Amino acid sequence: MADFGSGLVERVALDLAETLRSDRNGLALAAPQIGYSVRMIAVRHGELIEVMLNPVICQRKKPLWMAERCLSVARGKKAVRRWRARRIRVEYQSEFGHDIKRGASDTEAQVFQHEIDHLDGITLLDPQPGVKS
């Protein structure tokens, strides 16, 4: 997917960032949520929006139940409990093609896991494999 010369990455990154900025309640957004079949997400860090290509969670630690909302499900009004790792390590490419590996914890880890689920076709309405609620 990461064809950095084609303009696709730039176009999707811009659309993700603009869409996320337009919704003050959103912490992040996955490309499939706005009609793109590519593995890209945008995550809000205060005023900064980070775009991640092909994100993969390579390590999960300290699982716990967390309440989540989703802008794609009931306009983000219904909270659903999900089993999430409190700390993760994630690998991805920046929108500029740089390989990045880093850790995330707490809310940031939860947001990454939620958005990567969207890339894998999983929503809050889907049961979690191997988890009895």
Please identify every residue annotated as catalytic: 115
Give the list of residues 6+ apart from residue 86 with CB closer than 8 angstroms, or none. Answer: 61, 62, 63, 64, 105, 106, 109
CB 60 within 8 A of CB 85: yes
Smallest Cα–Cα separation from 63: which of 86, 82, 80? 86
User: Is the CB of residue 20 less than 8 Å from the CB of residue 44?
Assistant: yes
Closest CA to 113 of 34, 31, 28, 44: 28
